Amino acid sequence: MTAVHQAVVGAGPYDAVTEQVRAWRRLLAADGFAGTDHASHIDPRLRTGFRPLAELEPDHGDLVVIRYSAWSPALMALLDLPNPVLLVYHNITPAGYLWKHSPALAVQCAVGRIQLPAFARRARLVVADSDFNAAEMRTAGAADVRIVPILFEPERLAARGRPPAGAGPLVLVVGRIVPNKRHDRVLDAFAAYQGACAADARLLLAGEPLDPDYRRLVEGFVGACGARNVTIPGGLTQPELNAAYAEADVLLTLSEHEGFCIPLLEAFHFGVPVVASPKGAMPGIAGDAALWTDDDPAVTAELLDLAVRDPELRAELRRRGRVRLERFGAEATAAAVREAIALALD
Amino acid sequence: MTRPEQALAHARAEAARKRAAGGYTKAGAAALDDSIVSGPPSPELLSRWAVVEGDPRLLYSTRRAGGPITALKRLIVRLLRQYLADVESRQTRFNIALLAGMHELEGRIGALERAAEAGAADAGPGRPAGGPRAPARPAATGERPGGGSTDVPA
Alpha helices in A44-147 (DSSP H): 73-77, 103-114, 116-122, 131-139
Q: Please check whether residues A222 and A305 belong to one and the same domain.
A: yes
Q: Which residues of B56-74 are buried (b: 16+ CB within 10 A; e: fewer)?
A: eeebbebeeeeeeeeeebe
B59 has pLDDT over 60: yes
Q: Which residue of B has its CA nearest to A213?
A: B57
Q: Please check whether residues A202 and A279 belong to one and the same domain.
A: yes
CB contacts of B64 in chain A (<8 Å) are 45
Q: The domain that contains A165 carries what CATH number?
A: 3.40.50.2000
Question: Are A255 and A181 in contact, with CB atoms under 8 Å apart?
Answer: yes
Q: How confident is the model at residue B127 (pLDDT cuts 50, 70, 90)?
A: low
Nearest to A182 by CA among A152, A156, A207: A207
- Cα–Cα distance measured from residue B149 to residue B138, given in angstroms and rounded to the nearest whole number: 12
| DSSP structural state of residue B143 | B
pLDDT for residue A94 = 95
Q: Please check whether residues A85 and A30 belong to one and the same domain.
A: yes
Question: Are A292 and A283 in contact, with CB atoms under 8 Å apart?
Answer: yes
Q: Min CA distance, A188 vs chain B (Å)?
A: 5
Residues 6+ apart with CB under 8 A from A233: A204, A205, A206, A240
Considering chain B, what is the average pLDDT of its residues? 81
Residues 6+ apart with CB under 8 A from A7: A37, A38, A39, A53, A56, A64, A65, A66, A67, A75, A78
By Cβ distance, the residue of B3, B15, B62 closest to A44 is B62
Say whether B39 and A96 touch across the interface (CB within 8 A): yes
The stretch B112-138 carries a mean pLDDT of: 69
By Cβ distance, the residue of A185, A289, A310 closest to B2 is A310
Say whether B29 and A184 touch across the interface (CB within 8 A): yes
- Cα–Cα distance measured from residue A115 to residue A84, given in angstroms and rounded to the nearest whole number: 19
pLDDT for residue B137 = 47
Q: Give the ipTM of the model, two decimals please.
A: 0.90
pLDDT for residue B128 = 52
Q: Please check whether residues A284 and A170 belong to one and the same domain.
A: yes
Q: How confident is the model at residue B145 (pLDDT cuts 50, 70, 90)?
A: very low
The stretch B113-124 carries a mean pLDDT of: 88
Output the CA torsion sign for A68, A115, A342, A131: positive
pLDDT for residue A249 = 98
Low-confidence residues of chain A, pLDDT below 50?
A: none
Q: Please check whether residues A145 and A212 belong to one and the same domain.
A: no
Q: Please check whether residues A291 and A308 belong to one and the same domain.
A: yes
Q: Is residue A164 classed as helix, strand or coil in its secondary structure?
A: coil
Q: Which residue of B has its CA nearest to A45?
A: B63
By Cβ distance, the residue of B2, B7, B30 closest to A184 is B30
Q: Please check whether residues A282 and A336 belong to one and the same domain.
A: no
User: What are the tens digits of pLDDT across the range A144-191?
Assistant: 999 999 999 999 999 999 999 999 999 999 999 999 999 999 999 999
Residue A178 touches chain B, beta carbons under 8 Å:
no
Q: Please check whether residues A129 and A249 belong to one and the same domain.
A: no
Residue A286 touches chain B, beta carbons under 8 Å:
no
The pTM of the full predicted model, rounded to 2 decimals, is: 0.84
Q: Is residue A89 classed as helix, strand or coil in its secondary structure?
A: strand
Say whether A184 and B7 touch across the interface (CB within 8 A): no
By Cβ distance, the residue of A191, A292, A294 closest to B26 is A191
Amino acid (one-letter) located at A182: R
Residue B58 touches chain A, beta carbons under 8 Å:
yes
Q: Please check whether residues A29 and A97 belong to one and the same domain.
A: yes
Q: Which residue of B has its CA nearest to A221?
A: B31
Nearest to A296 by CA among B55, B28, B42, B126: B28
Question: Are B42 and A202 in contact, with CB atoms under 8 Å apart?
Answer: no
Question: Would you say how long chain B is, in residues?
Answer: 154
Q: Looking at the 3D structure of chain A, how many domains does it have? A: 2
B152 has pLDDT over 80: no
Q: How many beta-carbon pairs below 8 A join chains A and B? A: 124
Q: Please check whether residues A132 and A13 belong to one and the same domain.
A: yes
Nearest to A285 by CA among A128, A159, A137: A128
Q: Please check whether residues A142 and A217 belong to one and the same domain.
A: no
- Cα–Cα distance measured from residue A336 to residue A130, given in angstroms and rounded to the nearest whole number: 13
Q: Please check whether residues A140 and A187 belong to one and the same domain.
A: no
CB contacts of B51 in chain A (<8 Å) are none
Residue A320 touches chain B, beta carbons under 8 Å:
yes
- Cα–Cα distance measured from residue A75 to residue A97, given in angstroms and rounded to the nearest whole number: 23
User: What are the tens digits of pLDDT across the range B3-34?
Assistant: 999 999 999 999 999 999 999 988 777 889 88
User: What are the tens digits of pLDDT across the range B27-45?
Assistant: 777 889 888 988 888 888 8
By Cβ distance, the residue of A43, A299, A313 closest to B1 is A313
pLDDT for residue B149 = 38
Residue of A100, A185, A215, A294 to mutate for B, most B C-beta atoms under 10 A: A100
Say whether B8 and A101 touch across the interface (CB within 8 A): no
B133 has pLDDT over 60: no
Q: Min CA distance, B6 vs chain A (Å)?
A: 9
Residue of B6, B19, B24 to mutate for A, most A C-beta atoms under 10 A: B24
Residue B109 touches chain A, beta carbons under 8 Å:
no
- Cα–Cα distance measured from residue A187 to residue A209, given in angstroms and rounded to the nearest whole number: 15
- Cα–Cα distance measured from residue A134 to residue A127, given in angstroms and rounded to the nearest whole number: 7
Residue B28 touches chain A, beta carbons under 8 Å:
yes
CB-side exposure of B69: number of CA atoms within 13 Å? 9
Say whether A96 and B57 touch across the interface (CB within 8 A): no
CB contacts of A195 in chain B (<8 Å) are 23-24, 26
pLDDT for residue B141 = 39
Provide the domain limits for residue A105: 4-152+329-345
List, in sequence order, every residue forming a beta bridge with A128; answer none if it has no partner. Answer: A89, A147
List, in sequence order, every residue forming a beta bridge with A206; answer none if it has no partner. Answer: A174, A234
